[in-house]
Amino acid sequence: MSKRQSETHIPAVGEGKRGVEGHIGYLLRQAYAVHRSRLEQALQPLGLTLPQFSVLTMLSAYPGIAGADLARLSLLTPQTICVILNNLEKAGFIRRSAHPVHRRAQCIELSPAGLLMLKNCKQRVELVEQILLQGVPAKEEEVVRRWLVQLAMTDAMPMSEPR
């Protein structure tokens, strides 16, 4: 969320080098930090944290998913997901019900309140995302997209057949 209480006389750091010459990892981190800060500020008035928004988004894409699968998708432990789900349930945004096939597992879904909350959040997130591509030519956007996708693909991706 960040506080920035007043001005400082110290210039922004950059692990030695700065600007377009800086370490690419530092630039990536800096850029994402700014984006995340904007996201958190957009979500805060609605009372949702970023991990919570992330889980609600996944639940919207995979209604009825079990907690263990949610953990795998998020690359988190089942225990961590359990905590987040508990907080979301306390807030009334999700519903847990019996799993149709596995009696130990749970069927987790968005509640109507959760669906509405997610819709409101997405609206705000949409605005924040638009800032990312302001004034970027289509050709450059294409290059950036390919770079990001390649990065994300190198590590993650269980995959098999969609649907």
Contacting residues toward DNA, per CB under 7 A:
1-3, 5-6, 49-52, 66-69, 76-80, 82-87, 96, 99, 102-106
Closer Cβ to DNA, 49 or 111, answer by number:
49
Closer Cβ to a second copy, 20 or 98, answer by number:
20
H or E stretch covering 29: helix 24-43
Q: What gap in Å lies between CA 84 and CA 90, rounded to an integer?
A: 10
The nearest distance, CB 113 to a second copy, in angstroms, is: 20
| Contact letters for a second copy, residues 78-117 (x by CB under 8 A) | ----------------------------------------
Give residue 105's region: left, alpha or beta (phi > 0; psi -120 to 50).
Answer: beta
| Strand partners for 96 | 108
Binding at 105: pick from a second copy, DNA, none (beta carbon under 5-8 Å per type): DNA
Q: Which residues contact 75 (CB under 8 A, 6 or more apart)?
A: 156
| Strand partners for 65 | 108
